[in-house]
A and B are shown apart, each in its own frame.
Chain A
């Protein structure tokens, strides 16, 4: 009974429920070195360690972040039976010391829990969090059995992805998204082609744009079937990649230095703050004088704008770091460089990625501006020449393509950020944001 109280899943159960669980628990002993079960053994019982220590090794294909786990008093293992569709063990467990355990039959336990749906549900929830936290196998979570609804086996055939997809489809989010798009496109269609509102008279209509875009033989020479279309996209994407890549490299290092060294900041920051507000278009004449080749002139403009955004955010990121982290690191014996590497850089990362989100957008923005002024390819060039040659649908095609490509690059930055800051993703997930 006391030992049940010490476990994660039963820790907060009521006395009455605990007593009933204790009544179905069978004590058992294992000598040091003996195998308790192996993978593919039938999974009938749940084990609670009373004393001693066992080693719990999960099958590699479960992708546990840490496959080996030592379980001591109060630890629970053998929870496979609680998973839908799993009747066989998923781990190898052996006693490393003389070990006393309680065996609890899974089906009887589920029976007891089902008799108290509210409390039983809570116990199962705690099993879920235990499997995630202590056994580090997020992939199994969706399979933990639920008391509400029939305990059918059908669900077990759903893979985790399907489960997540069904959750997403059941939430209002995808439908709201579709409604948002539909309203926008519908308004465009009605305003131009049905109501013929005054401001929209000269605008290309939705149908003509879509027709042109999808036409194998476009009237104005640009659609998804023409090689030229992709060449423009490719040129623009390549320019943004160069500009954004360079801006990230230099901007992050420059920002880290600004935030880290007070002397450096005093030299440079006032100048930086004076250059930053100068609009990108104001740089164009100087830019053309400096770079004879149009290619580097265009890239330079896109670089400049995104450099300022990244550098500023990185500096703010360094300054946002709580002083106690730096103190704690020094206390623990880290030298200045180690503090920089292990505290300053990761601590500034959330701000850096906010900066990169902004900067990738800004870099598209200034790229298109630059392409409209000078340049021979690229989406900005397409929009500008189409305007001059009165190819209105092509303008919209260029704009829509920019929107899509811009969205993708921004999503890529976000994904990279989530990948590098798993800690933050998990923290936010716990606070349900």
Chain B
């Protein structure tokens, strides 16, 4: 597999809203292998979303560059990547269109891009929803199904476009811990079928270690990798990993680093976001 190889090189992002420059991302370099689940862990407000926004093309960068599969997404010379269906974001609060049914949401990408005729898109959408355990809610509106289901629909909507990478911005933040663990397994199940590169932002260390091939622990503002952990628990994983010895060891190994950053963020009093 050679799709979805993302290289972040020396990226700097300085916000300058009121003349007082704030460095959000500081010379950050990170390489994400094709088909890898790379977890980005850091306290709220550490600048990790800024990094995701740069990859997705929502914000420009100040310097450095981001390359995906040999194609330069953004660089010092052209600082803003263009958004497109090869890198799809799953948003923190969910961004399914509440005015479209779940199925209409799912087929949105291919129909807008003109890649599939409506009928073909509907068939593919139904099949993919069934695959993700979502048959039965196709004709419901997102507001009528549980938040866990909504997240799943959103991921299916992204996968309909056959993206190179999924960019997840704390998608399970608002869920309770029981739903969360169900969602983790569901995400892995979808991942094993689709093997797409996943760039996953979270502040939850257990979530990160449970899901990721690698976990990058970020420093708080400015944001850059403080420690990158290889999670040597073999995939496929299920929830029994959570009680395994190795899992606890990995948590212990990294907990201090995460806690230290959280403390720094707390003392700096950064606004969440």
The verdict on A328 contacting chain B, using a C-beta distance below 8 Å, is yes
The verdict on A430 contacting chain B, using a C-beta distance below 8 Å, is yes
Residues of chain B lying within 8 A (CB to CB) of residue A327 = 56, 58, 83, 89, 91, 95
Residues of chain A lying within 8 A (CB to CB) of residue B100 = 342, 346, 423
**A421 near B84 (CB under 8 angstroms)?**
no
The digit string for B90-101, where 1 denotes a CB below 8 A from any CB of A, is 010101011111
- When the two chains form the complex, which single residue of B84, B88, B112, B144 contacts A133, counting CB atoms closer than 8 Å? B144
- When the two chains form the complex, which single residue of B91, B112, B136 contacts A134, counting CB atoms closer than 8 Å? B136
The verdict on B150 contacting chain A, using a C-beta distance below 8 Å, is no
**B136 near A133 (CB under 8 angstroms)?**
yes
Residues of chain B lying within 8 A (CB to CB) of residue A142 = none
- Chain A binding surface SS class: helix
The verdict on B182 contacting chain A, using a C-beta distance below 8 Å, is no
Residues of chain A lying within 8 A (CB to CB) of residue B238 = none
Residues of chain B lying within 8 A (CB to CB) of residue A347 = 97, 99
Give the residue among A136, A342, A349, A430 with the most B Cβ atoms within 10 A: A342
The verdict on A426 contacting chain B, using a C-beta distance below 8 Å, is yes
**B87 near A329 (CB under 8 angstroms)?**
no
Tell me how far the C-beta of B30 lies from the nearest C-beta in chain A, rounded to whole angstroms. Answer: 21
Residues of chain B lying within 8 A (CB to CB) of residue A69 = 135-136
Given contacts A333-B113, A334-B112, A430-B144, contact A324 B93 (CB under 8 A): yes
A426 to B137, alpha carbons, bound, how many Å? 14
The digit string for A131-157, where 1 denotes a CB below 8 A from any CB of B, is 001101000000000000000000000
Residues of chain A lying within 8 A (CB to CB) of residue B263 = none
Given contacts A134-B136, A421-B99, A426-B141, contact A330 B83 (CB under 8 A): yes
Given contacts A328-B91, A331-B89, contact A342 B83 (CB under 8 A): no
Tell me how far the C-beta of B247 lies from the nearest C-beta in chain A, rounded to whole angstroms. Answer: 26
- Chain B binding surface SS class: loop
Q: How many A-B residue pairs have CB under 8 A?
A: 100
Given contacts A66-B138, A334-B112, contact A426 B88 (CB under 8 A): no
**B97 near A342 (CB under 8 angstroms)?**
yes
A151 to B37, alpha carbons, bound, how many Å? 55
A-side interface residues, number (CB < 8 Å): 36
The digit string for B122-134, where 1 denotes a CB below 8 A from any CB of A, is 0000000010000
The verdict on A83 contacting chain B, using a C-beta distance below 8 Å, is no
A65 to B141, alpha carbons, bound, how many Å? 13
Residues of chain A lying within 8 A (CB to CB) of residue B113 = 332-333
Tell me how far the C-beta of B4 lies from the nearest C-beta in chain A, rounded to whole angstroms. Answer: 15
Residues of chain A lying within 8 A (CB to CB) of residue B259 = none
**A133 near B91 (CB under 8 angstroms)?**
no
The verdict on B157 contacting chain A, using a C-beta distance below 8 Å, is yes
**B136 near A427 (CB under 8 angstroms)?**
no
Nearest neighbor of A74 in chain B, beta-carbon distance: B133
The verdict on B108 contacting chain A, using a C-beta distance below 8 Å, is yes
Interface positions, chain A 318-343, Cβ under 8 Å from B, are 322, 324-325, 327-335, 338, 342-343
**B56 near A331 (CB under 8 angstroms)?**
yes
Interface positions, chain A 336-381, Cβ under 8 Å from B, are 338, 342-343, 346-347, 349
**B144 near A427 (CB under 8 angstroms)?**
yes
The verdict on A72 contacting chain B, using a C-beta distance below 8 Å, is yes
The verdict on A70 contacting chain B, using a C-beta distance below 8 Å, is yes
**B84 near A331 (CB under 8 angstroms)?**
yes
A70 to B56, alpha carbons, bound, how many Å? 36
Residues of chain A lying within 8 A (CB to CB) of residue B137 = 133-134
The verdict on B139 contacting chain A, using a C-beta distance below 8 Å, is yes
Nearest neighbor of B53 in chain A, beta-carbon distance: A327
A36 to B105, alpha carbons, bound, how many Å? 33
Residues of chain A lying within 8 A (CB to CB) of residue B148 = none
The verdict on B62 contacting chain A, using a C-beta distance below 8 Å, is no
The verdict on B194 contacting chain A, using a C-beta distance below 8 Å, is no
- When the two chains form the complex, which single residue of A65, A75, A325 contacts B95, counting CB atoms closer than 8 Å? A325
A331 to B130, alpha carbons, bound, how many Å? 24
The verdict on B179 contacting chain A, using a C-beta distance below 8 Å, is no
The verdict on B50 contacting chain A, using a C-beta distance below 8 Å, is no
**B112 near A423 (CB under 8 angstroms)?**
no
The verdict on B79 contacting chain A, using a C-beta distance below 8 Å, is no
Residues of chain A lying within 8 A (CB to CB) of residue B112 = 329, 332-335, 338, 342
Give the residue among B95, B135, B137 with the most A Cβ atoms within 10 A: B95
Given contacts A70-B135, A423-B141, A427-B143, contact A332 B161 (CB under 8 A): yes
Tell me how far the C-beta of B185 lies from the nearest C-beta in chain A, rounded to whole angstroms. Answer: 14
- When the two chains form the complex, which single residue of A70, A349, A422 contacts B130, counting CB atoms closer than 8 Å? A70
Given contacts A324-B93, A328-B91, contact A426 B99 (CB under 8 A): no
- 25 A-B pairs within 8 Å (CB atoms) are namely A65-B139, A66-B138, A130-B136, A133-B137, A133-B144, A136-B139, A322-B95, A327-B56, A327-B58, A327-B83, A327-B91, A328-B95, A330-B57, A330-B83, A332-B85, A332-B157, A332-B161, A333-B85, A333-B112, A333-B161, A338-B112, A347-B99, A423-B101, A424-B99, A426-B144
Residues of A that sit less than 8 Å from B by CB: 8, 65-66, 69-70, 72, 75, 130, 133-134, 136, 322, 324-325, 327-335, 338, 342-343, 346-347, 349, 421-424, 426-427, 430
8 closest A-B pairs by beta carbon, nearest first, are A427-B143, A134-B136, A332-B109, A328-B95, A333-B113, A346-B99, A324-B95, A423-B141
Residues of B that sit less than 8 Å from A by CB: 56-58, 83-85, 87-89, 91, 93, 95, 97-101, 108-109, 112-113, 130, 135-141, 143-145, 157-158, 161
Contacts beyond the supplied A325-B97, A332-B158, A342-B100: 4 A-B pairs with Cβ under 8 Å: A75-B136, A324-B91, A324-B95, A328-B89
